[in-house]
Amino acid sequence: MKRAIALLAVVGLLLVGCKSNDDDGDGGATGDPTRPASTEPGRGVTADAITIGTTYVDLSAIKEIMNLDHGDYAATFEAVAEWINDTGGINGRRLELVDAPVSPIGTEEGTTTCIELTEDVGVFAVLGTPQPDIVPCYVTDHETALVGGSMSEELLAAAEAPWFTWLASTDRLATKTIEGAADAGVFEGKKVGIVTAAIYEPVVDASVKPALADAGVEIADVGVIDTPPDDPAAATAAAQTIAEKFKSEGIEVVVSVAQTFSTWADGVVQTDYRPVQVTTDSNTVGAWVVLKDDSQLAILEDSVVGSAAPAEVWWNTEAMQECVAQIEERTGTTIVNPIGYVEGEGPSTFVSAQAVCATITLFKAIAEKAGDTLNNDTFLAAGHELGVFQVPGVGGESDYTASDPTGAPPVYLATFDMATKQLVAEPDPVP
């Protein structure tokens, strides 16, 4: 039986990252593999404490646009950190958190937050969900470790600091979504096009095109939405133009990459073009759905969407329930059971619980393995050697190695149920 996925995400905007340089002593950057490993503690690390930044989407900044309530991220982070501190900390060091909510609108706040955390506070690492274009500000420009966020091969290759996440990478999501769609016969006998925002062109070249080629799919056309990130009207107009062109070419299936979908969909609904949508990020689709009326949602009929594990898979795991119990005890709040939950019918506090439990637990495991001397070098080596690990909120074992700092979590396929207005995932992941 298929399982419903709650519509949890917020609008994914393509933001421009900061480009400042940082020459602080951070206990070792990772860009030069020939440099000897540092034996000094990293920036933000003392004998008895580790200072970390915790960042997440500030939903209050967009409450006039969408009515979402994921619970109190700051209190949830503090509760899990308190639990860790009360049980000995990380190799005897307490976690000290710096709260850093960020509005998803525009670029200024994400950049300012990055500079404050890295330059003004001097945190050892940042945990949470920075926007994709803000990631380089942390891991490249300021050599600050990051746990969380959406990883791509291009962004990872440029990183000068350790970066690990519990989410499937953009490239893995694309590859597995296309493999699953091909196995389901979605491309068979169809004319196929690709649409992408400019930021995801490297993902298209590295992963989407090869996956389609492996599936025996010939690409009829590729449309690139290349407009300023602060001009959504121009982006929608560009998407509409591509839609009209694809329609004239007889393209029947369109593959869109990650956050491209929301802009692409805004263009498609302005036309009568209704191809089958194959898109690689259920979060982006979920966020778009929250904002639209029923007539616009019709473009999702027969769609195929790449997804993380549905709640039924990860919610009742031992690791997740142990973390949830600590949050409930320490905050005095009730975590809503996500099974069958519909966004908008109450605070979806399980969303913040999932994100926080996954991110901070992964950080703890890597930092503990790094040993008494904690810096970028030891943290990177520890993450590469972490191996098989149960991350709360993932729903299965991840395997962290030097070749895959995402742990290669499973990817599921989902379709859109017009009756419930929810994505519904298959019970098993794409092989």
Distance between CA atoms of residues 184 and 121, nearest Å:
50
Between 373 and 230, where is the model more confident? 373
Contact present, 375 and 42 (Cβ < 8 Å): yes
Distance between CA atoms of residues 365 and 21, nearest Å:
29
Architecture, CATH, for domain 171-307: 3-Layer(aba) Sandwich (3.40)
Distance between CA atoms of residues 207 and 306, nearest Å:
14
Distance between CA atoms of residues 63 and 70, nearest Å:
12
* Helix segments in 269-373, DSSP class H: 282-290, 294-297, 311-314, 318-331, 349-370
Distance between CA atoms of residues 355 and 363, nearest Å:
12
Residue 228 pLDDT exceeds 50: yes
**What pLDDT, on a 0 to 100 scale, did the predictor assign at position 345?**
64
Between 421 and 233, where is the model more confident? 233
Q: What is the pLDDT of residues 30-74, one digit of tens each?
A: 445 556 778 899 999 999 999 999 999 887 776 776 667 788 999
Q: What is the mean pLDDT of the chain?
A: 88
Place 13 in a pLDDT band, splitting at 50, 70 and 90. very low
**What pLDDT, on a 0 to 100 scale, did the predictor assign at position 24?**
40
**What pLDDT, on a 0 to 100 scale, did the predictor assign at position 191?**
98
Query: Which stretch, 13-22, 60-69, 247-256, has highest mean pLDDT?
Result: 247-256
Place 340 in a pLDDT band, splitting at 50, 70 and 90. low
Neighbours of 347 (CB within 10 A): 16
Where do the structural domains in the chain lie, given as residue ranges? 3-167+312-400, 171-307
3-167+312-400 classified as CATH 2.160.10.10: no
Which residues does residue 255 pair with via DSSP β-bridges, in sequence order? Answer: 194, 278
Which residues does residue 225 pair with via DSSP β-bridges, in sequence order? Answer: 197
Domains 3-167+312-400 and 171-307 share a fold: yes
Residue 383 pLDDT exceeds 60: yes
**What pLDDT, on a 0 to 100 scale, did the predictor assign at position 343?**
56
Residue 148 pLDDT exceeds 60: yes
Distance between CA atoms of residues 252 and 275, nearest Å:
5
Q: What is the pLDDT of residues 400-415, one digit of tens each?
A: 999 999 999 999 999 9
Residues in the chain: 431
Between 124 and 284, where is the model more confident? 124
Place 326 in a pLDDT band, splitting at 50, 70 and 90. very high
Residue 129 pLDDT exceeds 50: yes
